[in-house]
Amino acid sequence: MSESSDKAAPSRRRRHRGTGRGDSRRDELLHVASELFAENGYRDTSIADIAQRVGVTQQALLYYFGSKPALLDAVIDERDGAAVAFAEELAAIGGFDAIRAIPASARRNVAEPNLVRLFAVLVAENLPQHAVAHDHFVARYRRLRRIVAELIAEGQRTGEFATDIDPILKAAEIVAVIDGLNTQWLLDPDDVDIIGATEQFAEGLAGTLRARA
Amino acid sequence: MSESSDKAAPSRRRRHRGTGRGDSRRDELLHVASELFAENGYRDTSIADIAQRVGVTQQALLYYFGSKPALLDAVIDERDGAAVAFAEELAAIGGFDAIRAIPASARRNVAEPNLVRLFAVLVAENLPQHAVAHDHFVARYRRLRRIVAELIAEGQRTGEFATDIDPILKAAEIVAVIDGLNTQWLLDPDDVDIIGATEQFAEGLAGTLRARA
DNA sequence: GTCTATAGCGAGATAGAC
DNA sequence: GTCTATCTCGCTATAGAC
């Protein structure tokens, strides 16, 4: 999951060959930052904590990323997009097969709790309009809803899905269930069967979409 | 930052008549604290901010609450419980009438965005096991799920609901939809019709619960 | 590229006057 | 009950040596 896409570095110039091969120190910092942001949130994680865990000083981290918000951007760029990519996979499948594939997201999430936690925490932290990454998450959810809504609308066009469903409302619901189950599961993994709940949700959803008016 | 826990509370005794009527200064501080925690989160709100907004110094606030974590406890005590109370109302109604009443929660939430934001932020902040209020929220969600699951199980017993539904999984789903829609709506109120989405969800859910095996 | 040193700020909390 | 004063700490960021 950690492809080092060699983005424009915030600091002035490139440090080595631009061919995209691992800048190991930078990648290490990125990885640890993502872990600590997931555990403690952005605000409650100091760049010194991150640097220390990697074994360098805070100033070395700043050499790579320039500032703490820039580090956050880098983390988000590297690790977000999984959800959107998954939604696009579903859309590519289409129809009831896509609905049946929804629980795969729960399975992915269970396999990567830290990634899930990272975004759960970041989204909540960026609810206020003035937050650093607020606009990023607004755009992300809009995209997510649009992709899923289009999947539903397409199924309605082909006659597979019932037409008495508002695609965009249903899309918001689907995204909401996945997110909400993530939250409950992160809080209390032992008491929440996220895979089972997602499966049962998908079944019910299939029934709703199949239903005649 | 989990310095938490009961240090010596600065005032060992109650300051006013024990009958619980308004200690206006204290109530004012509590109210403003709840607003600012909702806007900026717990960690990013200083007790000085809160005190200033009320027109007193930070030290006056500490006189009442002793410490910042203690203030958080007080805020949670005062303002949480709405969700549980709502779930209990639904359970008291029972059956399809209860399902039909679910969208009322969305209407309440729209009316009190700050309260909703407060708990969205607090839940995320308390995802890690060591967080100050982690256990509180674990217990809260367990209670929520139990109440809703019992509502479903009861409907199954009376024969109103289909029996091929696992009550606890469905309960987690219902709570998840409400939470997840809240998040999307808080992030992007203009693009999310939380009431419409909740209504459509409730309709689909009713269909699922009605369905025969 | 990574370090030491340090500026500069804002936080939470305590002590004690009134 | 509320204030002023102050302590101490942790944080981000900059400057400059090596």
d(CA B168, CA B155): 13
A143 and A40, same structural domain?
Answer: no
Other Cβ atoms closer than 10 A to A178: 23
Q: Which of B78, B98, B115 is the last residue of a domain?
A: B78
Domain carrying residue B45: 24-78
d(CA A120, CA B137): 15
A176 and A100, same structural domain?
Answer: yes
The position carrying tokens 């759960």 is A120
* B15 lies in some domain: no
Question: What's the confidence (pLDDT) of residue A130?
Answer: 84
* B196 lies in some domain: yes
Which residues have CB under 8 Å from B166's CB, separation 6+?
A196, A200
Q: Which of B36, B58, B78 is the last residue of a domain?
A: B78
Helices A167-187 and B134-157, axial angle in degrees (round to 10) = 120
B73 and B85, same structural domain?
Answer: no
Residue B58, nucleotide of least CA–C1' distance = C12
Closest Cα in chain A, distance from residue B36 (Å): 11
CATH code of B41's domain = 1.10.10.60
* B203 lies in some domain: yes
- Per-residue pLDDT of A70-122, as tens digits, reads 999 999 999 999 999 999 999 999 999 999 999 999 999 999 999 999 999 99
* A161 lies in some domain: yes
B110 and B197, same structural domain?
Answer: yes
Question: What's the confidence (pLDDT) of residue B76?
Answer: 94
Question: What's the confidence (pLDDT) of residue B172?
Answer: 99
B118 and B60, same structural domain?
Answer: no
Interface contact flag, B176 A172, Cβ < 8 Å:
no
B129 and B53, same structural domain?
Answer: no
* B5 lies in some domain: no
The count of structural domains within chain A is 2
Spans of chain B below 70 pLDDT = 1-23, 213
Question: Which of B39, B179, B205 is the closest to A183 by Cβ?
Answer: B179
Q: What DSSP state is assigned to residue B5?
A: S
Interface contact flag, B134 A187, Cβ < 8 Å:
yes
Spans of chain A below 50 pLDDT = 1-21
Structure tokens given for B179: 């939470």
Q: Which of B47, B78, B109 is the last residue of a domain?
A: B78
* A120 lies in some domain: yes
* A16 lies in some domain: no
A139 contact B CB<8A: no
A177 and A98, same structural domain?
Answer: yes
- Per-residue pLDDT of B103-157, as tens digits, reads 999 999 999 998 999 999 999 988 988 888 899 999 999 999 999 999 999 999 9
* A97 lies in some domain: yes
B122 and B183, same structural domain?
Answer: yes
B165 and B122, same structural domain?
Answer: yes
A159 and A116, same structural domain?
Answer: yes
CATH code of A186's domain = 1.10.357
A127 and A32, same structural domain?
Answer: no
Question: What's the confidence (pLDDT) of residue B212?
Answer: 73
Interface contact flag, B187 A44, Cβ < 8 Å:
no
B195 and B107, same structural domain?
Answer: yes
Other Cβ atoms closer than 10 A to B158: 9
d(CA A48, CA A53): 8
